[in-house]
Structure formats: C-alpha cells, structure tokens
Amino acid sequence: MLYRGTVRHDQIALQLYTVRRLAADDLAGSLSAVAAAGYRAVELAGLPETTPGDLALLLDEAGLRVVASHEGIERLRADVAAVADRLAEVGCPRVIVPWMPEEDRRTADDVGRFAAELGGYAEVFADRGMRLGYHNHAFEFEPLDGTTAWQVLRAELPPQVELELDVYWAAVGGRDPVAEIHANPERIRLLHMKDMAAGAEPRDAPAGGGTLPFGDIVDAARSTGVEWFVAEQDEPVDALDDIVRAFRYLDGLAR
C-alpha cells in the first residue's frame, strides 16, 4: 500500500521555538505571523513569560490550537501538578520532555531511572486527560554501556509515554529516521520535521530544503499512526521566511 503524499492539512503544526527571538519582542505579532504562514496548530516552547489565560487568548485570537508543549524535566521535578494545571488552562493535550540532563544519562542505569521517572509523571498528566512524551536529540544514539540511551528508553519507558522523533537529530546521530519510525509504531506520535542542509557540518533547514527523504518519512509515519508533523528549526536563517517555506512544503505533500 502506498502512503506517499498523504499528510493531512490538519496534521501540520509549528514548534514555536523556531520563532522564539521574534516572540520575545512581540508575542501577539509572532503568533499572527505564524497563522498568516498557514499554520493552524502549534507546539509551545521558547515563549516569553505569559500567564496561561493571556496565552490562551492570544492563541485564540490568532486562530491557533495547541497540540503539545515542551516542558523541561526540571519543571516537572519542581511541581508537576502546577505544570499540568497551567497547560490545562491553555488547552494543551500533550507534554513533551525535550531533553535529558547529562547527569541523568551517565550510565544505562541512569537512563532507566529517568524512564521510570517519566512514567510516574505520565500518570499525573493522564489524570488530567493529557499525554506525556519524550523528544530526542543526537546523544541518545551514542554508545552507552554496551547499548544506547535510545535503546534503554524504548525498553524501559512505560507504554503510555510517547516519543516525539526529531528526524534531523536522529539523522545527526547516525540513524535512519524511516527505520526508527517503523521500529516504534506504537510509540511515535509526533515528528519534528526539520531537514538537514547539504554540507559537511550538520545544520538544520526548513522541511524540504535539505537532504532528508521526507517522502519516505511521511510514508512511514502515515503507515504507523503518527498524528502530528511539526515543522521546527533550532537555528533558522530567517524565521518567518523559513516557517513559510516549511509549511508550503508540508502542505504540498497533502495534495
């Protein structure tokens, strides 16, 4: 069965970390620009301090819905209930832990404890109707005690904890994003769709503006139940131009 070209229009979102520098100066204007680029859904990260009520109002005025929020493990450790309550007020259905601190990944046993900790937080969010997930970078694929942090997470994370696969960072870590999607059909529910620019040194690019096989990535994602295709760049060249380019490319895959 062929799935190529079957991204749905309503599955495309933007990670707001991409426009964080613009948002720091003008949050309302940045959200309006995101909507003008074509997005109707966003993932929260990198925003200036804003009350949940004010953020919910700004998102509503821009016509944007929230699909997830990146929340550092430190915030969950400090007060997971407060994080859940704040995100509930914004109408956020998912929480993604975007990073594993170095002290939590010195050994495979450390990673196992981290995975168990995430399982406990997942229960808190589940009580509020939210899901918890983890987002990778490249270090998860490095050798660690005869295995990798990624392998430990796959084995030790409770089933209710999802994965948000960043296809760029997986590729930087030496992995084939398509193979990783197929290897985790019950767990990967979101993808960070940033491309890898051509060149000797790894550098991210808007989706469709680099070398990653996005047609194959979409095929794999659609065949395994991925729900959201989230455009993102860590270091955009021109944030507004790049998010427009990414949306047009991903939206084009829906036709």
pLDDT in tens, 58-75: 999 999 999 999 999 999
Mean pLDDT taken over the chain: 95
Rounded Cα distance between 69 and 171, Å, is 23
Rounded Cα distance between 107 and 225, Å, is 32
The token pair that represents 209 in the structure block: 């503006």
CA proximity to 16, closest of 7, 8, 26: 26
The token pair that represents 14 in the structure block: 């933007």
Distance of CA 225 to the CA centre of its chain: 16
Rounded Cα distance between 210 and 218, Å, is 15
Domain boundary assignment for the chain: 9-252
- Topology annotation, domain 9-252: TIM Barrel (3.20.20)
pTM exceeds cut of 0.85: yes
Residues of the chain with pLDDT under 50: 1-3, 5
Q: Which amino acid belongs to residue 53?
A: G
φ, ψ (nearest 5 deg) of residue 15: -80, 115
Would you state the torsion angle of the CA atoms of residues 202, 203, 208, 212, taken in this order, to the nearest 10 degrees? 10
Instruction: Output b/e per residue, 80-117; b: 16+ Cβ within 10 A.
Output: beebbebbeebebbbbbbbebeeebbeebebbbebbee
Residue-level pLDDT at 3: 43
Residue-level pLDDT at 253: 86
Residue-level pLDDT at 72: 98
Measured distance between the N- and C-terminal CA atoms of the chain, rounded to whole angstroms: 18
Residue-level pLDDT at 6: 60
The token pair that represents 216 in the structure block: 């194959």
The half-sphere exposure of 89 on its side-chain side, counting CA atoms within 13 A, is 14
